[in-house]
C-alpha cells in the first residue's frame, strides 16, 4: 500500500531536500534537529521515490523518534553512573512490550508535533501506529507485567535495566481453522526493528557443556576451572524505555545468541570448512523462539539453555560494569546492585553469580554468598504445581557441570541450617531440600530461589498469604522476614491515557492532567456521579469505543456486534483454571433460554472471548473449539441474535487489548478461587470503566475492597471453600440441583454444537462431571448464573450502570504499576 506524499509546501523545508544537505543530515550527531527535519531525512533516504508505503513512513517516523531519544538516553546513562545510585536489574525471560511508537510519542510529549507533521505526509498518525508489529516477547500476564514495570520504573525516575532475550520468533500468531486453533510463526523482526540498537561492545561469551577440574594455587586456594566448554556469544540489543515526560530513558537489553569465531581448528585443518561453519549455527538456536507455555513448565533442554544464557550474559554485563569502576572489590556490590527475578525462570542466575564471583573473581565462598544473598530478590507468580520448575540433575550435570556442583554446595550448607532448626527431622530435610529425590533427581528452582534471596514476594494479597500458609510454609517458618506481598499493577499510560484517548480527555477536563502520573487522583471522580452532563459524556465515550471494537470484531470474526447491547468480555490465555468453560456454559444457558422464549428479563448481550492456548494443551484447544462452535450456532439463528451474539477473537495480544478494554461493559474474571495469582487484565478493564463479574481470587479481592460490593458482581466459592470442597467433591449433586446446568450439559452431550463432529466435546463433559475436577466448574455454575442475572438487571438502568462504571475507574488508582513499583523501590530495592 502506498501513500502519496504531499510535497512540502514550506519553502524553508524545500531547500533542505538537496543531496548534499541530506548527506550532512544523515550523521547521527544531529542531536538537536527538529522532528520534521529528521523525518524528512529518513524519508528521503528511501529509494528517492515520491511515494512511500505506510511501512516506509512508519520506519522513518520510528527512526526519527528514536533519534529524539538518543541524547537523553546517553544523558540518563551518564547521570546514573555519576551519582552511583542503586542499580536494579529486572531479569525476565519475557517482556510483552506490544507496540512502542504510540507510547514513545506520548511519554516524550511529542503528540501534537507528530500529528501536525503527519499532515505533511497526508497520513494519519493512527494509521502508521497500526503498521507496527507487536513485540510479542512474552506469553501473557507475567511478560506484560515486566513491560508495565519498565514503564513505571522509568516514569518514577528509577535506574532500572530490563534484561531479556531477543527471540527471533515471538509468541505465535493464532488463526482459527474450522474453529480449531492453528499456530503461525511470528517473525516480528522481518521488516527490521527500528527501535533497537546493537551494541557489540557489551558482547560476552556464555559457556556450555565441558567438565570441571580443580587445582590448588600457589596461595593454597583450591580453584575450580570449567574446561572444554562450548562457548556462545551473547550480543546486546538495547531498546529505549522512555519515562513519562521526565527525560529519563532506561534500557531494555535483549540478548541474541551467535556463534563465536573460534572454530574447531582440527576440523578446519581437515578441510571441513563448510561443516565447521554450519555447526556454529547451533549457537543461534538458543534465542530463536519463545516457549509458548503460560503457567506450565515444559522441561525442554533448550529452555534451560535460554535461561542460563540470559542469566549468565546479564550477570557478566553487570559485573563488567562494576569491575570497570571498582576493580575486584565486591564489598560494596550489594549496596549498589539488586536483581529482581521474574519467577524462577532466571533463577539459575543464583549459582551463576556464585560461579562468577568464586571462580572468575576469586572471592571466598562465604563472601560470594554474602553478595548473592543480599542482591537476589524473587517474585513468585503461581501456586499451580504444573508451573513449578524442576530441572533433572542429569540434564544440569551434562549441560552446566560447574553450576550443578555449586547448587549441591549451596544445598549442603543450607540443609545444615534446616537440620539445626528441626533436629533429627529427616522428613523435613527431604521436604525442604533443593534436590528432590525419586526415580530421577531434580533441582527445585523455587526452593533455590527462596534460599538465596533476601526477598520473596507474591503478586496479590491472597496469593502471598497462600504462599506463606501453603506452598512455602516451611520456609516462612525459617525466614519470615523474607516474605512480602507486592500486588501487581498496570501502567496507566498505555492502559488508559494511550488506549482510551477520549476517556483520558474527559478525565483531564474534570481532574486536570496530573492523574496520568498519579492515578490516585481518579478518586475525585466520585464527586461527579450525580452530574448528568458528566454521565452523558461518560456514556458517549463508551459508546464510541464500542463502535471501534465492533469494527474489529466484524473484520476479524465476521460477527455483527451491536453497540447498544451489553459488551461482556473474557480475554486472557486459555486455561482450565481461568474457566472460559464456565463462561461458555452460561452462554449455552442464555441461548437455550432464548430458544425457549424465556426472554422477559434478558438484556441483549454481545459476548467476546479471546486468548491463545499453549500448542500442546489439548483441553485448552478443545475449549477454543467449543467457543467457536457455540458462537457459530448462536450467530446463525436470527431470533437468538436479537438477544445474544458471540465471537471468538483470534490472536489476542497487547494491541488487541488496547482496543478491547476501553469498549468493555462487563469484565469476566472468573477463575477458580486460589488459582489466579493476581491477574492484570482485571485491572485494565477496571481502569477503563468496566464492571467486574468475578470470584474472590487474585487481585479481584483487592479490587472489590476498593470499589465496594455494590459495584462488583461477586460469586463463587472462596479459596478456603474450594480447598475444603475438594476433599469430597461431588459435581453430580450440583448438576442435579441446577436445572439450568442439567439442560446445558445435555445440550452439549446431544451433539447440538457438534453435529458433524460427534463426541468431540466428550473430554470437556468428563472433566466437569469428574469428582477430580480441580477447577470445580459445576460447583460455581449456579452462583455464576445468578450473578449474571444481577448484571442484566443492573444494566437495564443506564444511570445506575454508568455510576458503577465511573466508580470502578475512580477506584482503580491503587492498581497503577506506579504504586506497585514505588513499593518495590521502598521495601525491596531500597533504591
Ligand atoms: C494483560 C494481558 C494479559 C494478562 O491477562 P489476565 O487476564 O490477567 O490473565 C495477557 N495477555 C495480554 C495480551 C495482556 O495485555
Supply the DSSP string of 496-536, one letter for each residue: IIIT-HHHHHHHHHHH-GGGGT-GGGGGGGGGGTT-HHHHH
Instruction: Write down the pLDDT at residue 267.
Output: 66
CA of 612 to the centre of ligand 1 (A): 11
Index of the ligand 1 atom closest to the CA of residue 490:
1
Q: Which atom of ligand 1 lies at the shortest distance from residue 678's CA?
A: 8
Lowest mean pLDDT among 123-127, 298-302, 541-545, 702-706: 298-302
Residue 429 in any domain: the answer is no
pLDDT of residue 47: 61
- Distance (Å) from CA 682 to ligand 1 centroid: 8
Give me the mean pLDDT over the 577-594 stretch.
98
> pLDDT > 70: what percent of the chain?
95
Least confident piece of the model among 16-20, 137-141, 814-818: 16-20
Q: Which long-range contacts (CB under 8 A, 24 or more apart) does 742-750 make?
A: 743/589, 743/592, 744/585, 744/588, 744/589, 744/592, 745/585, 745/769, 747/588, 747/592, 748/588, 748/626
Q: How far is the CA of 505 from the centre of ligand 1 (A)?
A: 25
Please name the residue whose Cα sits nearest to atom 5 of ligand 1: 681
Task: State residue 19's pLDDT score.
Answer: 34
140 lines ligand 1 (CB under 6 A): yes
Q: What distance in angstroms lies between residue 144's CA and the mean position of ligand 1's atoms?
A: 7
Determine the distance separating the centroid of ligand 1 and the alpha carbon of 662, expressed in angstroms.
14
- Atom 1 of ligand 1 has which residue's CA nearest to it? 681
Q: Does 657 sit in the ligand 1 pocket, CB within 6 Å? A: yes
Residue 269 belongs to some domain of the structure: no
Q: Which atom of ligand 1 is nearest to the CA of 679?
A: 8
Cβ–ligand 1 contact at 679 (below 6 Å):
yes
C-alpha of residue 226 to centroid of ligand 1, in Å? 42
Which residue's CA is the nearest one to ligand 1's atom 8? 679
Element (H, E) at 202: strand 197-208
Q: State the distance from the centre of ligand 1 to the C-alpha of 145, rounded, in angstroms.
A: 9
CA proximity to 139, closest of 314, 382, 376, 463: 382
Rounded distance from Cα 161 to ligand 1 centre (Å)? 23
Residue 273 pLDDT class (50, 70, 90 cuts): confident
For ligand 1, say whether the CB of 593 is within 6 Å of any of its atoms: no
3-state SS, 698-739, equals CCHHHHHHHHCHHHCEECCCCHHHHHHHHCCCCHHHHHHHCH
How many A from CA of 692 to the centre of ligand 1? 15
CATH of the domain at 651: 3.40.50.2000
Atom 7 in ligand 1: residue holding the nearest Cα: 681
Pocket test for ligand 1, best of 577, 651, 670, 681 (most atoms within 8 A of CB): 681
- The CA 746 to ligand 1 mean position distance, Å, reads 33
Pocket test for ligand 1, best of 144, 668, 692 (most atoms within 8 A of CB): 144
Does residue 264 have a pLDDT over 80? no
- Give the three cell numbers for residue 240: 529505549
Confidence of residue 346 (pLDDT cuts 50, 70, 90): very high
Q: Is the CB of 346 under 6 A from ligand 1?
A: no
Among candidate residues 133, 164, 198, the one where a domain is terminated: 133
* 3 sits in which H/E element: strand 2-4
pLDDT reading at 29 higher than 70: no
- Joined together, the cell numbers standing for residue 68 give 529524539
Residues in the chain, total: 831
800 within some domain: yes
Please check the confidence at residue 142 and state whether its pLDDT lies above 50: yes
Q: How far is CA 802 from CA 6, 532, 585, 704, 786, in A?
A: 44, 10, 28, 17, 21
Give the per-residue pLDDT at 163: 99
Relative to the CA of 684, which ligand 1 atom is closest?
Answer: 1
**Which residues are part of the catalytic machinery?**
381, 572-573, 578, 680, 684
Mutate to test the pocket of ligand 1, among 294, 384, 492, 573 (most ligand atoms within 8 A of CB): 573
Average pLDDT (145-162) is 99
Question: What are the residues whose beta carbons fall under 8 Å from the beta carbon of 758, sequence distance 6 or more?
Answer: 751
Q: Which atom of ligand 1 is nearest to the CA of 611?
A: 11
With a 6 Å cutoff on the Cβ, whether 144 touches ligand 1 is yes
Assess whether the C-beta atom of 653 lies below 6 angstroms from ligand 1.
yes
Total domain count for the chain? 2
Per DSSP, which regions of 294-353 are E strands?
337-342
- Out of 241-255, 285-299, 502-516, 652-666, pick the least confident: 285-299
d(CA 63, CA 57): 10
Q: Which of 15-29, 191-205, 377-391 has the lowest mean pLDDT?
A: 15-29
Q: Which DSSP symbol is given to 18?
A: S
Region 238-246: mean pLDDT is 98
Model pLDDT, residue 31: 58
When mean pLDDT is compared across 24-28, 234-238, 608-612, 748-752, the lowest value belongs to 24-28
Query: CB of 242 closer than 6 A to ligand 1?
Result: no
435 inside domain: no
Q: Which residue has the cell 501513500?
A: 3
Enclosing domain of residue 522 = 493-818
Q: How far is the CA of 660 from the centre of ligand 1 (A)?
A: 12
- Whether 128 is covered by a domain: the verdict is yes
248 CB near ligand 1 (under 6 Å) = no
Average pLDDT in the 788-805 region?
98
Taking CA atoms only, the protein residue closest to ligand 1 atom 11 is: 140
Can you tell me the mean pLDDT for 271-293?
86
Whether residue 688 has its Cβ less than 6 Å from ligand 1: no
- Residue 298 is predicted with a pLDDT of 86
Check if 610 has its Cβ closer than 6 Å to any atom of ligand 1: no
Residue 573 contacts residue 622 (beta carbons within 8 Å): no
CB of 572 within 6 A of ligand 1: the answer is: yes
Nearest CA to ligand 1 atom 15: 654
Strands (E) in 611-689, as ranges, are: 644-649, 666-669
The predicted model scores a pTM of: 0.95
Check pLDDT > 70 for residue 360.
yes
Q: Is the CB of 159 under 6 A from ligand 1?
A: no
Q: Is the CB of 669 under 6 A from ligand 1?
A: no
Confidence class of residue 265 from pLDDT cuts 50, 70 and 90? Answer: low
684 CA distance to ligand 1 centroid (A)? 9
* Residue 308 domain flag: no
Determine whether the shortest distance from the Cβ of 570 to ligand 1 is under 6 A.
no
The reply to whether ligand 1 has any atom less than 6 angstroms from the CB of 678 is no
Mutation test of ligand 1: which of 134, 141, 499 has the most ligand atoms closer than 8 Å to its C-beta? 141
Q: Whose Cα sits closest to atom 6 in ligand 1? A: 681
Nearest ligand 1 atom, CA 698: 8
pLDDT at 270: 74
Atom of ligand 1 nearest to the CA of 571: 7
Can you say how many angstroms the Cα of residue 203 is from the centroid of all Cα atoms in its chain? 27
The preferred substitution site among 94, 572, 608 for testing ligand 1, maximizing ligand atoms within 8 Å of CB, is 572
The rounded Å distance from CA 573 to ligand 1 centre is 7
Is any ligand 1 atom within 6 A of the Cβ of residue 681?
A: yes
Under a CB-based contact definition with an 8 Å cutoff, are residues 810 and 612 in contact? no
Q: Cα(817) to centroid of ligand 1, in Å?
A: 14
User: Which is it for strands 566-571 and 605-610: parallel, antiparallel or unpaired?
Assistant: parallel
Candidates 94, 140, 675: which one to mutate for ligand 1, based on the most atoms within 8 Å of Cβ?
Answer: 140
Give the residue, by CA position, lying nearest to ligand 1 atom 4: 141
Tell me which of 2-11, 283-292, 739-748 is least confident. 2-11
Q: Is residue 723 part of a domain?
A: yes
Going from the Cα of 293 to the center of ligand 1, the distance in angstroms, rounded, reads 14
Q: What confidence score (pLDDT) does residue 30 get? A: 54
pLDDT confidence of residue 272:
78
Q: Phi and psi at residue 673, in whole multiples of 5°?
A: -55, 135
Ligand 1 contacts CB of residue 680 (under 6 A): yes
Nearest Cα residue to atom 9 of ligand 1: 572
What is the tens place of the pLDDT at every residue in 677-720? 999 999 999 999 999 999 999 999 999 999 999 999 999 999 99
Average pLDDT of every residue of the chain: 94
Amino acid at each position: 500500500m502506498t501513500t502519496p506524499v504531499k510535497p512540502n509546501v514550506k519553502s524553508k523545508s524545500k531547500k533542505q531536500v538537496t543531496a548534499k544537505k541530506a548527506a550532512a543530515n544523515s550523521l547521527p550527531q544531529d542531536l538537536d534537529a527538529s522532528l520534521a527535519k529528521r523525518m524528512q531525512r529518513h524519508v528521503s533516504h528511501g529509494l528517492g521515490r515520491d511515494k512511500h508505503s505506510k511501512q516506509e513512513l512508519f520506519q522513518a517516523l520510528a527512526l526519527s523518534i528514536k533519534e529524539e531519544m538518543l541524547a537523553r538516553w546517553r544523558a540518563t546513562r551518564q547521570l546514573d553512573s555519576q551519582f552511583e545510585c542503586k542499580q536494579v536489574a529486572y531479569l525476565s525471560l519475557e517482556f510483552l512490550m506490544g507496540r512502542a511508537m504510540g507510547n514513545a510519542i506520548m511519554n516524550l510529549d511529542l503528540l501534537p508535533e507528530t500529528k501536525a507533521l503527519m499532515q505533511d505526509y497526508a497520513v494519519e498518525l493512527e494509521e502508521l501506529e497500526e503498521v507496527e508489529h507487536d513485540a510479542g516477547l512474552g506469553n501473557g500476564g507475567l511478560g506484560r507485567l515486566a513491560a508495565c514495570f519498565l514503564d513505571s520504573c522509568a516514569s518514577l525516575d528509577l535506574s532500572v535495566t530490563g534484561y531479556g532475550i531477543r527471540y527471533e520468533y515471538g509468541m505465535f500468531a493464532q488463526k482459527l481453522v474450522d474453529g480449531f486453533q492453528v499456530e503461525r510463526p511470528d517473525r516480528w523482526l522481518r521488516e527490521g526493528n527500528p527501535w533497537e540498537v546493537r551494541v557489540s561492545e557489551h558482547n560476552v561469551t556464555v559457556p556450555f557443556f565441558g567438565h570441571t577440574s580443580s587445582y590448588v594455587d600457589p596461595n593454597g586456594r583450591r580453584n575450580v576451572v570449567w574446561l572444554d566448554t562450548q562457548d556462545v556469544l551473547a550480543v546486546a540489543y538495547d531498546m529505549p524505555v522512555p519515562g513519562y515526560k521526565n527525560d529519563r530513558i532506561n534500557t531494555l537489553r535483549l540478548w541474541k545468541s551467535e556463534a563465536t569465531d573460534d572454530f574447531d581448528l582440527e576440523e578446519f585443518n581437515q578441510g571441513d570448512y563448510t561443516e565447521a561453519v554450519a555447526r556454529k549455527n547451533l549457537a543461534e538456536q538458543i534465542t530463536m523462539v519463545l516457549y509458548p507455555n503460560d503457567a506450565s513448565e515444559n522441561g525442554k533442554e533448550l529452555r534451560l539453555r535460554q535461561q542460563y544464557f540470559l542469566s549468565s550474559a546479564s550477570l557478566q554485563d553487570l559485573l563488567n560494569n562494576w569491575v570497570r569502576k571498582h576493580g575486584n572489590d565486591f564489598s560494596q556490590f550489594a549496596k549498589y546492585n539488586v536483581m529482581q527475578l521474574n519467577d524462577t525462570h532466571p533463577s539459575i542466575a543464583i549459582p551463576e553469580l556464585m560461579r562468577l564471583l568464586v571462580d572468575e573473581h576469586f572471592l571466598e565462598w562465604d563472601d560470594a554468598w554474602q553478595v548473592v544473598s543480599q542482591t537476589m530478590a524473587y517474585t513468585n507468580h503461581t501456586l499451580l504445581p504444573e508451573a513449578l520448575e524442576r530441572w533433572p540433575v542429569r540434564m544440569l550435570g551434562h549441560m552446566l557441570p560447574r553450576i550443578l556442583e555449586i547448587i549441591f554446595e549451596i544445598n549442603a550448607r543450607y540443609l545444615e541450617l534446616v537440620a539445626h532448626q528441626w533436629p533429627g527431622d529427616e522428613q523435613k530435610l527431604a521436604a525442604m531440600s533443593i534436590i528432590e529425590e525419586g526415580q530421577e533427581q531434580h533441582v527445585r528452582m523455587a526452593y533455590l530461589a527462596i534460599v538465596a534471596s533476601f526477598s520473596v514476594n507474591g503478586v496479590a494479597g491472597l496469593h502471598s498469604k497462600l504462599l506463606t500458609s501453603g506452598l512455602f510454609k516451611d520456609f516462612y517458618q525459617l525466614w519470615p522476614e523474607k516474605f512480602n506481598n507486592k500486588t501487581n499493577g498496570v501502567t496507566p499510560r498505555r492502559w488508559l491515557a494511550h488506549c482510551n484517548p477520549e476517556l483520558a480527555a474527559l478525565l483531564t477536563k474534570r481532574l486536570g492532567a496530573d492523574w496520568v502520573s498519579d492515578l490516585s487522583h481518579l478518586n475525585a471522580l466520585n464527586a461527579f456521579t450525580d452530574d448528568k452532563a458528566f454521565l452523558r459524556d461518560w456514556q458517549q465515550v463508551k459508546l464510541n469505543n464500542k463502535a471501534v471494537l465492533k469494527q474489529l470484531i466484524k473484520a476479524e470474526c465476521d460477527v455483527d456486534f451491536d453497540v447498544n447491547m451489553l459488551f461482556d468480555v473474557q480475554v486472557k490465555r486459555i486455561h482450565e483454571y481461568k474457566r472460559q468453560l464456565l463462561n461458555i456454559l452460561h452462554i449455552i444457558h442464555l441461548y437455550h433460554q432464548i430458544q425457549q422464549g424465556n426472554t422477559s428479563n434478558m438484556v441483549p448481550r454481545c459476548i467476546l472471548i479471546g486468548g491463545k492456548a499453549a500448542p500442546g494443551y489439548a483441553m485448552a484447544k478443545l475449549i477454543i473449539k467449543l467457543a467457536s462452535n457455540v458462537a457459530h450456532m448462536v450467530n446463525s439463528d436470527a431470533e437468538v441474535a436479537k438477544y445474544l451474539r458471540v465471537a471468538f477473537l483470534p490472536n489476542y495480544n497487547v494491541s488487541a487489548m488496547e482496543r478491547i478494554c476501553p469498549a468493555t461493559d462487563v469484565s469476566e474474571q472468573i477463575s477458580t478461587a486460589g488459582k489466579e495469582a493476581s491477574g492484570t487484565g482485571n485491572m485494565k478493564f477496571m481502569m477503563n470503566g468496566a464492571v467486574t463479574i468475578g470470584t474472590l481470587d487474585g487481585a479481584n479481592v483487592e479490587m472489590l475492597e476498593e470499589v465496594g460490593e455494590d459495584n462488583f458482581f461477586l460469586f463463587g466459592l472462596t479459596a478456603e471453600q474450594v480447598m475444603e470442597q475438594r476433599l469430597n467433591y461431588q459435581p453430580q449433586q450440583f448438576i442435579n440441583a441446577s436445572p439450568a446446568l442439567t439442560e446445558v450439559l445435555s445440550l452439549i452431550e446431544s451433539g447440538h454444537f457438534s453435529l458433524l463432529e460427534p463426541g468431540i466435546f466428550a473430554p470437556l463433559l468428563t472433566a466437569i462431571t469428574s469428582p477430580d475436577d480441580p477447577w470445580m466448574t459445576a460447583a460455581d455454575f449456579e452462583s455464576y448464573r445468578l450473578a449474571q442475572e444481577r448484571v442484566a438487571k443492573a444494566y437495564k438502568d443506564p444511570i445506575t450502570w454508568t455510576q458503577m462504571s465511573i466508580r470502578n475507574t475512580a477506584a482503580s488508582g491503587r492498581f497503577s504499576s506506579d504504586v506497585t513499583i514505588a513499593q518495590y523501590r521502598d521495601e525491596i530495592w531500597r533504591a
